[in-house]
Amino acid sequence: MDFKKALKDKQQLINKRLEELLSYVDAPQIIIEAMKYSLFAGGKRIRPILCIAVCEALEGNLEDVLDIACSIEMIHTYSLIHDDLPAMDNDDYRRGKLTNHKVYGDAIAILAGDGLLNYAFETLLKVIKRKNDKRFVDAAFEIAKASGITGMIGGQVIDITNVGNIIDENLLVSMHERKTGKLIEASCNVGAIIANRYEYLEITREYSKNLGVAFQIVDDILDVIGDEKKLGKSVGKDAKNNKPTYVTLYGLEKSRELAKEFSLKAVELANKIDNTGFLKDLTKYLLNRES
């Protein structure tokens, strides 16, 4: 299997469907423009790709899962718009482009994030109405939990309220499991649910947890040693803002060892889900990414 081609094909498929989903919405032009600005700013589409890849690996139907995968990307993008706001991380660049609030102002940026979150669930509910199948209700619930106060939002709260604090390993892991890991976990679980392979949920959860930790550690490392041009954003912001990270807790070398350790566990589990090798190669790609 040509991994790079398979990855690009999935990215293009997701981008095409996202464009279609936002093409015929009866809403003020400025809000659609602002939503699209961040949605098509060059993301790697990792979460929807995981969702589709798990579903296909477990012999699920692409048509069943595609819109759900796209809704996950909308939720991820909304979280980035809000994270970049002055009241949160106060970032000027994201993926090499000015952040949403720098282009449209704080108010429209907030509404663009809100719009993506709401449209994600509108998209999910359309699928549920069309399919009339318990699997799709279960998938929507999984996504809602992952993106809510016990998941992504909860993790962001821990992050914000501990800026400048020295935190222990348990709180650091809890923060990242929620902030980064839960939506990755939901992406993988939804793939298994839509494929109607509930018996794989224990494996997909374990795979995604290991992948999520490795992903976050690499993120923390790149904020210290990454190339700003490749990252598309400034480096060193975590240290500047006194944010707790794996690097501040363990140091650079230990963080690298941990990222490799969690990635190897994820690879082992990926092989139990997918016999094509795509998930295994995706896991390795994320460990060795430069952006």
Spatial separation of the C-alpha atoms in residues 183 and 80, rounded to whole Å: 13
What's the whole-number mean pLDDT along residues 152-167? 92
DSSP notation for 181-215:
IHHHHHHHHHHHHHTT-GGGHHHHHHHHHHHHHHH
Give the amino acid at 108: I
Q: Give pLDDT, residue 150.
A: 96
Spatial separation of the C-alpha atoms in residues 148 and 82, rounded to whole Å: 14
| pLDDT top residue among 243 and 126 | 126
Boundaries of every domain in the chain: 3-287
Confidence of residue 231 (pLDDT cuts 50, 70, 90): low
Give me the CATH topology for the region 3-287: Farnesyl Diphosphate Synthase (1.10.600)
* Whether the predicted pLDDT of 28 surpasses 70: yes
DSSP notation for 67-134:
HHHHHHHHHHHHHHHHHTSTTTT--SEETTEE-HHHHH-HHHHHHHHHHHHHHHHHHHHHHHHHH--H
| pLDDT top residue among 172 and 239 | 172
User: pLDDT of 72-108, one tens digit each?
Assistant: 999 999 999 999 999 999 999 998 899 999 999 999 9
Percent of the chain with pLDDT over 70: 96
CA distance readout (Å), 280 to 76, 265, 291? 23, 10, 19
DSSP notation for 38-59:
HHTS----HHHHHHHHHHHHTT
Strands 93-94 and 97-98, bridge-based pairing = antiparallel
Q: Give pLDDT, residue 290.
A: 77
User: pLDDT of 40-70, one tens digit each?
Assistant: 998 999 999 999 999 999 999 999 999 999 9
Rg, Å, the chain Cα set: 18
Q: Give pLDDT, residue 14.
A: 98
Total Cβ atoms within 10 A of residue 194: 28
Give backbone dihedrals phi and psi of 195, rounded to 5 degrees, phi first. Answer: -75, -5
Q: Give pLDDT, residue 25.
A: 87
- Of 87-96, 136-145, 163-172, 215-224, which has the strongest mean pLDDT? 136-145
Q: How far apart are the first and last CA of the chain?
A: 24
Q: Which two tokens stand for residue 195?
A: 């494929």
